[in-house]
């Protein structure tokens, strides 16, 4: 079976989104919270448009941002000297 991954960070597939929406008859926001689609390291920067498009087709609900998902940088800033191995 071909599993189309929508959110790579959380490994959420199209099938996961469809099954969750059908099982719980929930809103697009609830599907995101139940599947964690768009909540990985990238904070939805990579997959948010795809997740929103899939949710609109599955639930019939346009992406609502009345309670926006929190967007965070994926990692802490690190100085170039640390990356280069200079520990001074």
Cα dihedral 32→33→35→38 (10° resolution): 50
Question: How many angstroms separate the most distant Cα atoms in the chain?
Answer: 57
- How does the average pLDDT of the chain come out, rounded? 80
Instruction: Report the pLDDT value the prediction gives residue 4, as an integer from 0 to 100.
Output: 92
pLDDT for 72 beyond 60 = no
Q: Would 45 be classed as within a structural domain?
A: yes
- pTM of the predicted model, to two decimals? 0.65
Number of separate domains in the chain: 1
pLDDT for 88 beyond 80 = no
pLDDT for 70 beyond 70 = no
Q: Would 27 be classed as within a structural domain?
A: yes
CA angle 30, 36, 39 (to 5 degrees): 115
Q: Would 88 be classed as within a structural domain?
A: no
Instruction: Report the pLDDT value the prediction gives residue 39, as an integer from 0 to 100.
Output: 87
Q: Would 55 be classed as within a structural domain?
A: yes
Range of the domain at 67: 5-83
Q: Would 48 be classed as within a structural domain?
A: yes
């Amino acid at each position: 079976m071909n599993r189309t991954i929508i959110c790579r960070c959380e490994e959420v597939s199209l099938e996961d989104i469809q099954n969750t929406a059908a099982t719980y008859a929930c809103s697009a926001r609830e599907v995101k919270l139940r599947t964690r689609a768009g909540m990985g390291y990238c904070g939805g920067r990579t997959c948010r448009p795809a997740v929103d498009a899939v949710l609109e087709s599955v639930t019939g609900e346009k992406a609502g941002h009345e309670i926006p998902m929190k967007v965070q940088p994926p990692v802490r800033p690190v100085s170039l000297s640390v990356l280069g191995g200079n520990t001074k």
